[in-house]
């Protein structure tokens, strides 16, 4: 599901306002839910992507 320019601006602003990895993770999870909608295959891809991102950034 493509995002409108207004939605992109909203998510960019929300992510820019995060100060910690925990804040970022919550924002990214909300974005993932928005993008996935009801598509189970997309949900699975997004969960894998967010899991990989979390593991990569847990050490930083």
* pLDDT score of 43: 86
Domain boundaries, given as residue ranges, for the chain: 5-58
* pLDDT score of 35: 83
Q: What is the mean pLDDT of each run of 10 residues along the chain (60 residues)?
A: 88 93 88 86 86 78
**29 and 11 Cβ atoms separated by less than 8 Å:** no
Burial class (CB in 10 A: 0-12, 13-18, 19+), 28: buried
Q: Which two structure tokens, joined as six digits, stand for 10?
A: 């909203």
Angle between helices 21-36 and 5-16 (to 10 degrees): 160
* pLDDT score of 60: 59
pTM of this prediction? Answer: 0.63
A 10 A CB-CB count for 60 gives 5
* pLDDT score of 34: 87
* pLDDT score of 18: 93
């Amino acid at each position: 599901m493509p995002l409108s320019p207004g939605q992109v601006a909203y998510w960019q602003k929300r992510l820019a306002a995060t100060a910690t990895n925990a804040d970022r993770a919550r924002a990214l999870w909300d974005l993932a839910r928005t993008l996935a909608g009801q598509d189970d295959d997309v949900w699975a891809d997004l969960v894998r992507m967010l899991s990989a991102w979390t593991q990569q950034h847990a050490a930083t």
